């Protein structure tokens, strides 16, 4: 089975495990991240299948439902290691920590897994796929592809950040890194999608139309 097909299969399974309205926000966010990662990869010589799979599955640990917090990184890593996808499993851990020292701010109730996470992150160097999904994660909102600024405001509004100015600078550096690789601003690849993504409402308050019903939810899990 090709990597893309395997990623789609795992993601579809993850969706069936969710039984809450937030699944729509998570699904849309993950699909948008996959599209961003794949398209940037196509334009800078990276493996598009690997980029797509990494973008789609970076949050797969959220299949356990709302309230998992940072444990979703561990849960996703363990699931994908079981599936024999170590390169994609790695992304479940690395996508949330740029710079990687941010992992030291995390405290997990499962102390043993918290130690594993910090030890793992201390021993790696980010490659282009780690960086690519870190960027894609911040260009993927609950309604689709968006700007770093919009996504960042949503995260800041909902979760708070200890050093927002430094975090935003780090994201702009990632955007600049890939813009230089492709020879033009990354946003130019997604001008149409960004323009069509809704920008209305307060971050954290979402509505979706599914199965003929309007569903009010939030984006706490993305």
Higher pLDDT, 6 or 108: 6
Q: What is the pLDDT of residue 170?
A: 95
Q: What is the pLDDT of residue 199?
A: 65
C-alpha span between 96 and 100 (Å, rounded): 8
Has residue 161 been placed in a domain?
yes
Has residue 10 been placed in a domain?
yes
Give yes or no for a contact between 94 and 52, defined as CB atoms under 8 angstroms apart: no
Has residue 12 been placed in a domain?
yes
5-33: average pLDDT: 90
Has residue 208 been placed in a domain?
yes
Has residue 179 been placed in a domain?
yes
- The number of domains in the chain is 1
Has residue 222 been placed in a domain?
no
Q: What is the pLDDT of residue 195?
A: 87
Give yes or no for a contact between 133 and 33, defined as CB atoms under 8 angstroms apart: yes
Each residue's pLDDT tens digit, 188-212: 999 999 988 766 555 556 655 544 4
Give yes or no for a contact between 106 and 99, defined as CB atoms under 8 angstroms apart: no
Has residue 61 been placed in a domain?
yes
Cα-Cα-Cα-Cα dihedral sign, residues 104, 117, 2, 33: negative
Q: What are the phi and psi torsion angles at 170 (to 5°)?
A: -65, -40
109-128: average pLDDT: 93
Has residue 162 been placed in a domain?
yes
Each residue's pLDDT tens digit, 158-174: 777 788 899 999 999 99
Containing structural domain, residue 117: 3-217
122-158: b or e for each residue (b if 16 or more CB lie within 10 Å)? eeeebebbbbbbbbbbbbbbbbbbbbbebbbebbeee
């Amino acid at each position: 089975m090709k990597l893309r097909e395997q990623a789609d299969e795992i993601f579809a399974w993850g969706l069936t495990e969710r039984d809450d309205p937030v699944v729509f926000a998570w699904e849309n966010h993950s699909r948008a991240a996959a599209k961003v990662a794949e398209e940037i990869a196509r334009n800078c010589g990276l493996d598009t299948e690997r980029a797509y799979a990494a973008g789609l599955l970076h949050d797969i640990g959220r299949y356990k439902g709302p309230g998992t917090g940072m444990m979703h990184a561990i849960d996703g890593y363990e699931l994908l290691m079981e599936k024999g996808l170590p390169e994609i499993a790695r992304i479940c851990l690395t996508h949330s920590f740029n710079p990687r020292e941010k992992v030291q701010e995390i405290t997990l109730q499962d102390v043993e897994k918290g130690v594993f996470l910090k030890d793992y992150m201390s021993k790696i160097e980010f490659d282009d796929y780690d960086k690519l999904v870190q960027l894609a994660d911040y260009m993927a909102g609950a309604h689709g592809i968006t700007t770093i600024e919009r996504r960042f405001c949503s995260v800041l509004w909902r979760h708070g950040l200890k050093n927002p100015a430094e975090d935003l600078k780090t994201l702009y550096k990632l955007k600049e890194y890939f813009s230089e690789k492709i020879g033009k601003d990354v946003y130019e690849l997604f001008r149409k999608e960004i323009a069509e993504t809704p920008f209305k409402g307060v971050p954290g308050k979402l509505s979706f139309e599914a199965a003929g019903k309007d569903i009010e939810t939030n984006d706490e899990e993305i």
